Amino acid sequence: MRIALLGLAPALVLSSALLGAQEGVTDQQIVVGMSAPFKGASRSLGIELYRGSMAYLSEVNRTGGVHGRRVVLKAYDDGYQPDQAIKNTLKLMLEDRVFLLFDYVGTPTVTRVLPLLKKYDKLHFRLFFPFTGAQPQREPPYDRLAVNLRASYRQETAGLVDNFVAIGRSRIAVFYQADAYGRSGWVGVREALASHDLKIVGEATYARGTKYTESLDRQVAMLQEVRPDAIISVGAYAACAAFVRDARKAGLAVPIANVSFVGSESMLELLVAASKADGHDYTVNLVNSQVVPSYENPNVPVVKEYLTLMDKYQPAPPAGLADADYKPLRHSFVSLEGFLNAKLLVEVLRRMGAHPERAKIAETVATIDGFELGMGRPISFAAQRNQGSDAIYYTTVEDGRFVPIRDWKVWTK
Amino acid sequence: MRVAKLFRKTMFGIFLLFGLIALSTSALCVYTVDRQLSVEYEANSRAIAQTIANSSMDIILNRDLSTLQSLIDQFKEIQGIKYVYIANEDGEILAHTFVPGVPKEILRGGPMKLETVQRRIPGFGEFIEVSSPILDGIAGSVHVGMDKGLIALKIQTAIGQQVYLISMIFIVSVVGSFLLVNLAAKPLVRLGGYATQLAAPAAPATITAEDVQALLERNDEVGQLARLVRHLSARDAARTAE
């Protein structure tokens, strides 16, 4: 199958050139391709990102689309597995012939897909707004193949480290997923600590796909042994929630911080349920960094728009891809990010005009300079800058909800 | 009764023989498989470590470590590879595949040792760890741990198959020897019955006239003995008549 698909590539280049038509674009629609986890331990990330994007795209399509074309999101489930992400990408590029790739989820998946984009460089495919803050798609040789909206993990972890060190919590340990994503966060923490002449005091890992029902006592014991002042988690919600639960049960009460990829609401949902069941509040001393503003703040223009359109369309999970038992979240940081991704994508497509061409994507993206997406902070790209936003927001849990951190000093050591 | 006695002795001999075969071949199997697999695994691990070391140079010098992690994660999927870790020139581990964390035995052992080492990590297993320097060691080193448990499993499988084969041959041998012993003992039993009949003609017959006829017509040693018994009995009867 793969050999057959690979054989198609030169023919596709030739046929596109001869016909002058752009793959993925017809008079009626522009098709963009997505590969993300819609099943398994990280399904919430893929589903909510998709739902957020669909809320905005539904409104755009209802009001006439982009230059008269509907924007269609073609999605496949990769279960957060790199090999499946590669297969899905080949299918999207060579079989479905989408216009571009959009809303991919995860570092281990995206880092394996990037070489594929390079291999088919002549087809000019670009990956828009992957849901990962890892470095590979921000640095040569892959930086020109991807367009990022969110801030990087380095920026998120640097902010967390700086804030913890500022309040006297300098013994920082890391709990992370044993793969490229976890390593990316680990590097961020290591570099941020190095700037303070500090080192990571301890670390523990978990295997990708770890379920909430599994015990993480061994990881907790390893970190407890080094007596950390704070722990930075770089993982997905199921494992991170299990870690918080087991850490609190073991008496490890230090602040535990998670980065934006975790899926904050899904993690909180698990911890709130466990708190009720065990009679022990597992939601205290939690810190989550976010790369989008709080959806609890309708004073931010794009948040108001997001809340309105999410409630208006209540997008369903992708048909036939998600588990039937999944209960969509009304609002979440992940779906807000999907919403912002879709909004910026539509802006790029609009700027490409009535005859969009893949080959002109990069120059079009570079025209976005000081664009107001509604976050209160302008978005800018340039030839040497493929990340639109540097914004980081820090939140904690109060009354079962994520709220902005007003004062880090409450955790002063 | 005589048949069973004869059979027991034969069985004892077969047991002894097969026991010796099973023990000696198993010992030879353990030695050969362990030696060959250990050598092969070490060679494979070394090749993998060198491949990673060669691929890592550019990544360590120019790129993010998450790319390095992606690289070693792919090698961990190879059967037998239990762990991979990469250390920099100062011995700091930059990327690894350990869950729930880097074992203390490895941290204590010093990651920059480049010779092949045998590791026993409690709760994790036994390993052959081979290493390869990156840029002659100035950029660090790659370490690959092959699972010795897999070698033990392969040895167990090989021995299991061998024992299964020997057991099958043993069962066939027991059944075969039972049939052969039975085949050899049957004419002897008839000969005994014929001799008894000649010695005590008044006693109830344990052998039919057809069996006696068949016995006397045999061309083997049993037939010769039967005819000799008949001759001696006849001569004895003649002397008694005189």
Which residues does residue A146 pair with via DSSP β-bridges, in sequence order? A127
| Residue A130 identity | P
Give the C-alpha separation, A155 to A264, whole Å.
Answer: 18
A184/B101 Cβ within 8 A: no
Mutate: best of B64, B84, B106, partner A, most A CBs <10 A? B64
Q: Indicate the range of A146-150, A168-172, B208-212 predicted with least confidence.
A: B208-212
Given pLDDT bands bounded at 50, 70 and 90, which one contains residue A18? very low
Residues 200-239 of A with CB under 8 A from B: 203-207, 216, 218-219, 222
Co-location of B51 and B99 in the same domain: yes
Mutate: best of B62, B63, B66, partner A, most A CBs <10 A? B66
Q: Cβ atoms within 10 A of the Cβ of A143, count? A: 18
Nearest to B65 among A82, A187, A219 (CB): A187
A134/B101 Cβ within 8 A: no
> Could you tell me how many residues make up chain A?
413
Scored b (16 or more CB within 10 A) or e, A194-207 reads eeeebebbbbbbbe
Given pLDDT bands bounded at 50, 70 and 90, which one contains residue B236? confident
pLDDT of B109: 57
Give the C-alpha separation, A374 to A75, whole Å.
Answer: 27
Q: Cβ atoms within 10 A of the Cβ of A394, count? A: 17
Question: Quick one: closest CA in B to A187, which residue?
Answer: B65
Which residue in B76, B106, B105, B81 sits closest to B91, CA to CA?
A: B106
Mutate: best of B55, B59, B70, partner A, most A CBs <10 A? B70
For residue B9, give every residue at least 6 positions away whose Cβ sits within 8 Å of its Cβ, in sequence order, or none: none
What pLDDT digit, counting tens, does each position of A212-241 carry? 999 999 999 999 999 999 999 999 999 999
Angle at alpha carbon of residue B233, lines to B232 and B235, rounded to 5°: 65
Chain A residues lying within 8 Å of B97, measured CB to CB: 178
Give the C-alpha separation, A23 to B50, whole Å.
Answer: 42
Co-location of B187 and B72 in the same domain: no
A111/B65 Cβ within 8 A: no
Which residues does residue B145 pair with via DSSP β-bridges, in sequence order? B83, B129
* Residues A233 and A175: beta-carbon distance below 8 Å: yes
Burial of A212 (0-12, 13-18, 19+ CB in 10 A): buried
Q: What is the mean pLDDT of residues A5-27?
A: 61
Is the Cβ of A116 closer than 8 Å to some Cβ of chain B? no
Scored b (16 or more CB within 10 A) or e, B27-42 reads eebeeebbeebeeebb
* Matching residue, tokens 């984009």: A117
B70/A222 Cβ within 8 A: no
pLDDT of A228: 98
What pLDDT digit, counting tens, does each position of A352-389 carry? 999 999 999 999 999 999 999 999 999 999 888 899 99
What pLDDT digit, counting tens, does each position of A184-196 carry? 999 999 999 999 9
Co-location of B106 and B189 in the same domain: no
Nearest to A206 among B64, B73, B99 (CB): B99
Give the C-alpha separation, A85 to B106, whole Å.
Answer: 34
Burial of A382 (0-12, 13-18, 19+ CB in 10 A): exposed
Co-location of B77 and B170 in the same domain: no
Q: Indicate the range of A119-123, B46-50, B110-114, B157-161 predicted with least confidence.
A: B110-114
pLDDT of A3: 47
Q: Which CATH number fits domain A2-151+296-382: 3.40.50.620, 3.40.50.2300, 1.20.1050.10, 3.40.50.150?
A: 3.40.50.2300
Q: Is A297 helix (H, G, I), strand (E, B) or coil?
A: coil
pLDDT at B40 over 80: yes
pLDDT at B183 over 60: yes
* Residues B100 and B48: beta-carbon distance below 8 Å: no
Of the residues B126, B155, B184, the one at which a domain ends? B155
Mean pLDDT over the full length of chain B = 85
Give the C-alpha separation, A171 to A165, whole Å.
Answer: 8
Given pLDDT bands bounded at 50, 70 and 90, which one contains residue B178? confident
Q: What is the mean pLDDT of residues A20-45?
A: 92
How many structural domains comprise chain B? 2
Flag whether B151 is in a domain.
yes
Q: Cβ atoms within 10 A of the Cβ of B14, count? A: 15
What pLDDT digit, counting tens, does each position of A254-290 carry? 999 999 999 999 999 999 999 999 999 999 999 999 9
Which residue in A12, A79, A153 sits closest to A322, CA to CA?
A: A79
What pLDDT digit, counting tens, does each position of A58-79 carry? 999 999 999 999 999 999 999 9
Give the C-alpha separation, B143 to A172, whole Å.
Answer: 27
Co-location of B140 and B213 in the same domain: no
- CATH classification of the domain holding B102: 3.30.450.20
Give the C-alpha separation, A57 to A65, whole Å.
Answer: 8
What pLDDT digit, counting tens, does each position of B155-174 carry? 888 888 888 888 898 889 88
B67/A203 Cβ within 8 A: no
pLDDT at A12 over 70: no
pLDDT at A14 over 70: no
Domain encompassing residue B131: 22-155
DSSP state, residue A317: P
pLDDT of B112: 65
Q: Indicate the range of A13-22, A204-213, B73-82, B142-151 predicted with least confidence.
A: A13-22
- Domain range annotation of chain A: 2-151+296-382, 153-290+394-411
* Residues B106 and B87: beta-carbon distance below 8 Å: no
Given pLDDT bands bounded at 50, 70 and 90, which one contains residue A16? very low
Give the C-alpha separation, A97 to A350, whole Å.
Answer: 20
Q: Indicate the range of A27-31, A61-65, B54-58 predicted with least confidence.
A: B54-58
Do A2-151+296-382 and A153-290+394-411 agree at the fold level? yes
pLDDT of A13: 47
Flag whether B176 is in a domain.
yes
Of the residues B155, B178, B205, the one at which a domain ends? B155
Backbone angles phi, psi at A209, to 5 degrees: 95, 0
* Matching residue, tokens 């391709």: A33
Q: What is the mean pLDDT of residues A116-132?
A: 96
Residue B86 distance to chain A (closest CA, Å): 12
Given pLDDT bands bounded at 50, 70 and 90, which one contains residue A151? very high
* Matching residue, tokens 């060669």: B54
Co-location of B190 and B118 in the same domain: no
CA B219 to mean position of chain CA atoms:
46
Co-location of B78 and B186 in the same domain: no
Chain B residues lying within 8 Å of A183, measured CB to CB: 65-66, 68-69, 95
Is the Cβ of A83 closer than 8 Å to some Cβ of chain B? no
Given pLDDT bands bounded at 50, 70 and 90, which one contains residue B4? low
Q: Indicate the range of A109-123, A219-233, A358-372, B134-148 predicted with least confidence.
A: B134-148
User: What is the architecture, at CATH level 2, of domain A153-290+394-411?
Assistant: 3-Layer(aba) Sandwich (3.40)
Chain A residues lying within 8 Å of B70, measured CB to CB: 82, 108, 111-112, 179-180
- Percent of chain B predicted with pLDDT > 90: 16
| Residue B137 identity | G
Chain B residues lying within 8 Å of A111, measured CB to CB: 66-67, 70
Query: What are the residues of chain B with a beta carbon less than 8 Å away from any beta carbon of chain A?
Result: 63-70, 73, 95, 97-102
pLDDT of B105: 86
Scored b (16 or more CB within 10 A) or e, A148-168 reads bbbbbbbbbbbbbbebbbebe
Of the residues B155, B179, B213, the one at which a domain ends? B155
Kindly list the strands in the beta sheet with B93-96, ordered across the sheet, starting from the edge strand earlier in the chain: B93-96, B81-87, B140-147, B125-134, B117-121
DSSP state, residue A144: G
Which residue in B219, B226, B214, B232 sits closest to B188, CA to CA?
A: B226
Pairing mode of beta strands B125-134, A256-258 = unpaired
Mean pLDDT over the full length of chain A = 93
The pTM assigned to this predicted structure is 0.80
Flag whether B95 is in a domain.
yes
pLDDT of A10: 53
Flag whether B76 is in a domain.
yes
